[in-house]
Structure 1
């Protein structure tokens, strides 16, 4: 199946009232895990790439060619998106590299600067048929190797104005989530009153949740059982994220839980099989854990399982 158009994919999510799951990949293993999980669940999926991944792979163009090749042969709708471009220049470069969607993050700037930059990127993107996701409000935690503890919830009134002024196609909002959580050991409450107000202020518009992983105790304890040291954090519960995805959110970025599952599997493998050194053995074991976690998110959190067949009009192609 070809990599799909973002506009068509989001229109389907709005029509059928589900959220699209977005997962950042870091390697061929993680790409396979995400795509195979989506195929197993007959679910659309958004594959995302961060600047850190581009630095890791070094040859970005060849890497993206490989990603597009894999995605293009997938049996479900796949959208390729560049996540968290921190400058206008970086966003334009991602657009030129052929991503179907790009996220420009000007949330650390003033409203006026963020709106002006987002509008500039939106114009550049739309001239090339690319979808732009912007962000308004501040989400705490670590993202793309940058940490912020600043929390600024998104104003519904400002969100409506921001969308009108910038022409962005989707908007990441701050309603209580956190990138990887913040120090503490209790669940963060998600502000559903604010989310409802945002949905009412921007009817039919694709709202996005960043930091939508939940770091469940079972995954954290899995890593720690085999020698890890992952501390508890304040983070939204998976139940709240699932509820948000049934309450107007159309895209949810969920990564940390995949990383915990992968890391825990690697630790378990080496603990139980200390004499093993053939890479495909332990990489396959860890890849399976990543794939299973993605399947869980698609089925139980965003509710997109089975929607790929519906997207193609029941033909499956």
Structure 2
């Protein structure tokens, strides 16, 4: 089927008690790694770009390349998703570029303002069949020392109201994970995950999948998490393998060889994430 809406992927995942991995890609090399990993594992995947990655890649050329690649991996269902969209204008731009899903992150705004803008994004995106992910609660960032204290975690009752009033298709929630590399294992609030899933009835999204123990990932999936984001581990694995190759081959000036070494590391990381999500052999 190739390019599909993220909603269709997550509905199948929730029913099948697995999660779909969402992998950030800022260039063609990254996208190839995601597709190749999906083929090896026969898994659906979500290729996502943060707004900064859209700018870096010049937007349309990379989206066109991803869709062209998808034609070569026709057995794989995939979505193209905007990660942490910062405005209605950015979400609209990405819909026009060909994204099949967008996220609007108004989590730093007052509740009513977050509801109002998210609802606008939903109305715009749903009019053309595009999935919308919304966020409520503050997901931390280990790279900047942000933690997830009780005040930043998503309140299930508030999440129910947020989802009902906005009409989003899936909810990014804060329940103990953070972006970046953890210094110690994160402490996930599984009771909160269960309550969020039960009250909203929507697929729950886990941001900050890098470094979350496999047992915790599987438990979160069993409680309603259907999408898990991975980014930091992909970049780290790519750079680690590329650096090792350069150390062993300091005179190699073939960029293809150097990038290919990094690609192998990234593919290993993606395959591992897919297996933890339980989406392998779901095509």
User: Under a length normalisation based on structure 2, what TM-score does the superposition of the two structures give?
Assistant: 0.94
Q: Which among 177, 180, 187 is matched to residue 189 of structure 1?
A: 187
How much has 1:105 moved relative to structure 2? 0.4
1:213 pairs with 2:210: yes
Aligned positions of 1:163-312 closer than 5 A: 163-181=163-181, 185-203=183-201, 205-214=202-211, 236-299=212-275, 301-308=276-283
For 2:242 and 2:233, the matched residues in 1 are separated by 14
How much has 1:242 moved relative to structure 2? 3.0
For 2:174 and 2:237, the matched residues in 1 are separated by 26
Asked if 1 retains the 8 angstrom alpha-carbon contact of 2:6 and 2:46, the reply is no
- 1:207-248 residue CA offsets vs partner (Å, 9 max, x unmatched): 10111111xxxxxxxxxxxxxxxxxxxxx4343223212321
Asked if 1 retains the 8 angstrom alpha-carbon contact of 2:181 and 2:232, the reply is no
How much has 1:150 moved relative to structure 2? 6.3
For 1:142 and 1:120, the matched residues in 2 are separated by 31
- 1:248-282 residue CA offsets vs partner (Å, 9 max, x unmatched): 10100011111111110011011111121111111
Tell me the SS of whatever aligns to 1:197. Answer: helix
> Residue 70 of structure 2 corresponds to which residue in structure 1?
71
For 1:296 and 1:118, the matched residues in 2 are separated by 33
For 2:198 and 2:131, the matched residues in 1 are separated by 23
Count of residues in correspondence between the two structures: 279
Gaps of 5+ in 1: 215-235, 309-317
Tell me the SS of whatever aligns to 2:279. Answer: coil
Asked if 1 retains the 8 angstrom alpha-carbon contact of 2:44 and 2:279, the reply is yes
Tell me the SS of whatever aligns to 1:252. Answer: strand
> Residue 47 of structure 1 corresponds to which residue in structure 2?
47
Asked if 2 retains the 8 angstrom alpha-carbon contact of 1:91 and 1:104, the reply is yes
Tell me the SS of whatever aligns to 1:188. Answer: coil
For 1:134 and 1:258, the matched residues in 2 are separated by 24
Higher alpha-carbon deviation: 130-139 or 46-55: 46-55
Cα distance change, pair 164–15 in 1 and its aligned pair in 2 (3 A): same
Asked if 2 retains the 8 angstrom alpha-carbon contact of 1:85 and 1:105, the reply is yes
For 2:119 and 2:233, the matched residues in 1 are separated by 33
> Residue 95 of structure 2 corresponds to which residue in structure 1?
95
> Residue 32 of structure 1 corresponds to which residue in structure 2?
32
Tell me the SS of whatever aligns to 2:67. Answer: helix
For 1:6 and 1:189, the matched residues in 2 are separated by 28
For 1:271 and 1:246, the matched residues in 2 are separated by 43
Gaps of 5+ in 2: none
How much is the aligned-residue C-alpha RMSD, in angstroms? 1.6
Tell me the SS of whatever aligns to 2:22. Answer: strand
Asked if 2 retains the 8 angstrom alpha-carbon contact of 1:213 and 1:238, the reply is no
Asked if 2 retains the 8 angstrom alpha-carbon contact of 1:2 and 1:73, the reply is no
> Residue 3 of structure 1 corresponds to which residue in structure 2?
3
How much has 1:148 moved relative to structure 2? 7.6
For 2:60 and 2:167, the matched residues in 1 are separated by 29
For 2:142 and 2:168, the matched residues in 1 are separated by 24
